[in-house]
């Protein structure tokens, strides 16, 4: 079984190129320089219409922190419903409490609002106090189908042992460990074979010049696809 390839898209052109080159799924964001914020409804609809692969949309109202107040949370629920109405495959979301744990109550409400959409818990996971405990919390939510993580490091390439352990912990469950942040074309094959991850997430690593704000490099996406199929 080949490893799933998810690519970040920030424009319709990105989405088309990534899909053409063999990405399995898109994560649609705006403001990549801030780690990804909720894109406009117009962009979501345009991307869903432009590609035939699944489009997961980040719902993140600001980049200040992953601890949200009541207004932030109301806004996120509204956006989750809008993402569903726009025809996306899933939402990418995450929220913590002040103790550095997953905010179960807010997550449960977001899952309700998602109403059957796939839910990825994003890299807020990398700021929890205890990743093993946090993964157990996520495994308790059937709707959470992916957890996007760099193993708590700025680059996932520096967290192979952690990723390996998380993959083992999630094995056989409904939740896939989606490894991302810092992956490169050159490093991906070795990383996958050593960690046994079933899904990888690329942003800057498949962009022109490795720059997060540059367009998708179709050749890099195709290279990663070929390496994952090998």
pLDDT digits (tens, 9 = 90+) for 36-73: 999 999 999 999 999 999 999 999 999 999 999 999 99
| Domain map (residue ranges) of the chain | 4-229
Task: Check whether 1 has a pLDDT greater than 70.
Answer: no
Structural contact between residues 128 and 102, judged by C-beta atoms closer than 8 angstroms: yes
Q: For the segment 171-182, what is each residue's pLDDT rounded down to a tens digit?
A: 999 999 999 999
CATH node for 4-229:
3.20.20.380
Average pLDDT for 182-207: 97
Task: Check whether 196 has a pLDDT greater than 70.
Answer: yes
Q: Model-level pTM?
A: 0.97
More confident position, 9 or 2? 9
Q: Which two tokens stand for residue 14?
A: 């990105």
Average pLDDT for 70-78: 98
Q: For the segment 125-155, what is each residue's pLDDT rounded down to a tens digit?
A: 999 999 999 999 999 999 999 999 999 999 9
User: Burial code of 65-78, b = ≥16 C-beta within 10 A, e = fewer?
Assistant: ebbbeeebbebbbe
Average pLDDT for 27-34: 95
Backbone angles phi, psi at 99, to 5 degrees: -85, 5
Structural contact between residues 91 and 119, judged by C-beta atoms closer than 8 angstroms: yes
Q: How confident is the model at residue 166 (pLDDT cuts 50, 70, 90)?
A: very high
In this structure, the strands spanning 144-149 and 199-202 are: unpaired
Task: Check whether 21 has a pLDDT greater than 70.
Answer: yes
Q: CA-CA distances (angstroms) from residue 71 to 68, 75, 77, 92, 144?
A: 8, 6, 10, 19, 23
Q: How confident is the model at residue 2 (pLDDT cuts 50, 70, 90)?
A: confident
């Amino acid at each position: 079984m080949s490893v799933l390839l998810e690519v970040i898209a920030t424009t319709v052109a990105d989405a088309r190129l990534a899909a053409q080159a063999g990405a399995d799924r898109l994560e649609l964001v705006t403001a990549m320089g801030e780690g990804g914020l909720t894109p406009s409804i117009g962009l979501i609809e345009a991307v869903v219409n432009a590609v035939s692969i699944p489009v997961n949309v980040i719902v993140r109202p600001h980049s200040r922190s992953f601890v949200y107040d009541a207004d932030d949370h109301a806004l996120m629920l509204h956006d989750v419903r809008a993402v569903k109405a726009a025809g996306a495959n899933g939402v990418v979301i995450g929220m913590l409490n002040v103790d550095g744990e997953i905010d179960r109550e807010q997550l449960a409400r977001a899952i309700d609002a998602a109403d059957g959409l796939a839910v990825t818990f994003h890299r807020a996971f990398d700021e929890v106090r205890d990743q093993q405990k946090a993964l157990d919390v996520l495994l308790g939510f059937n709707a959470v189908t992916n957890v996007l993580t760099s193993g708590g490091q700025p680059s996932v390439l520096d967290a192979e042992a952690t990723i390996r352990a998380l993959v083992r912990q999630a094995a056989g469950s409904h939740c896939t460990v989606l490894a991302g942040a810092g992956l490169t074309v050159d490093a991906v094959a070795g990383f996958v074979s050593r960690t046994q991850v079933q899904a990888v997430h690329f942003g800057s690593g498949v962009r022109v010049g490795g720059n997060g704000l540059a367009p998708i490099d179709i050749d890099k996406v195709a290279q990663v696809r070929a390496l994952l199929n090998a």
